[in-house]
Structure 1
Amino acid sequence: MSEVIEVEKIIAVSNRNGKRCYLLKWKNYDSSLNSWEPEEHLNCGALIKNFHKNLKLKEFTQNFQLPMTIKVPIIKDHAYGFDRGLKPQIICGVTKKNDAIYFMIKWDGCDEIDVVPAVQANVKCPQLVIRFYENNFSFEE
């Protein structure tokens, strides 16, 4: 008999090889065991629905062009983005506004996702940027 492992929460969504996949945190397991799983293997519709609702994703598209407004809060004495000093965990999405590219970044130890300029991410976490593009876009010759 196989063990049933429960999904604790969905951390991110990605398009991998033309399939929608979710980065999952497993209940009663360490975060180091988080894994990407294809949507068709999952039985957690309510979690998926709430995940998209919380991110305000109305439509998932292959290239992650999100229908969102980029507003970086200017709050005195409140860190945002890389100024938080947190380690970026994953890039969840990308959007473009006024010819500038912005990434949605999920941070280690934090449930919030910040929208940060790609020019910052390219310098501060280049391997995450490369992984994001490799996992979400195919470049044909």
Structure 2
Amino acid sequence: MGKVKDNKPASDSESSEEEYVVEKIVDRRERKGKIEYLLKWKGYDSSANTWEPKENLECPDLIKAFEQTRTEAKKEVVKEKEKDKEEKKKKPSKPSTTTSSTSSSKKKTESDAENDASEEEDKDDTASIKSSKSKTVAPETEFASSDDGMNGFEKGYIPEKILGATEANNELLFLIQWKDKDKAQLVSSKEARKHCPQLVIDFYEERLIWQSPDSTE
């Protein structure tokens, strides 16, 4: 155990010349350019610990052991910090939004293409009806308008036959006869192709005009 030169904790009955034994060094500090150590005294509890200047101590082994432990503790702290930095570098970065953005643009492009194709089909249908010699417009007496703005498809009617076709507001309309209904109704070509494509095909086939090579000469 180490000793100190100066007087240390003592009761009134003890001699001021008595030397006290250092049990261990608890802490270290620097004050006014001098190094001081917090000492735990043998035979006393921690409440009696005192700060003593280094030059008053005669316990080089305890000081050396304390400084070595303190140095190793600092090294461990540095290692932990370096380890944390390495782990942060290894963490994968957040996924780029480029993929989702590209996917969204692709979907939008496909949707635009479908809309354009649908518009082209309407134009083709309109041109075909205009050029056909057998263009049929249903008599006004056969047309049934809907007060609630709903067509027969929306009401669940069953289409039986397409009676004719016409154009209104640059849109091709088919006059459709509903099953078990007295009057026909004009419905857009889009709705007709969607709900009864076969009736649309039958309507065009009935009005095709076939010409032989001899007749063209």
- Rg larger in structure: 2
Pairwise TM-score range, normalised by the shorter structure: 0.3 to 0.5
More helix, by proportion: 2
Q: State the TM-score, normalizing by the size of structure 2.
A: 0.31
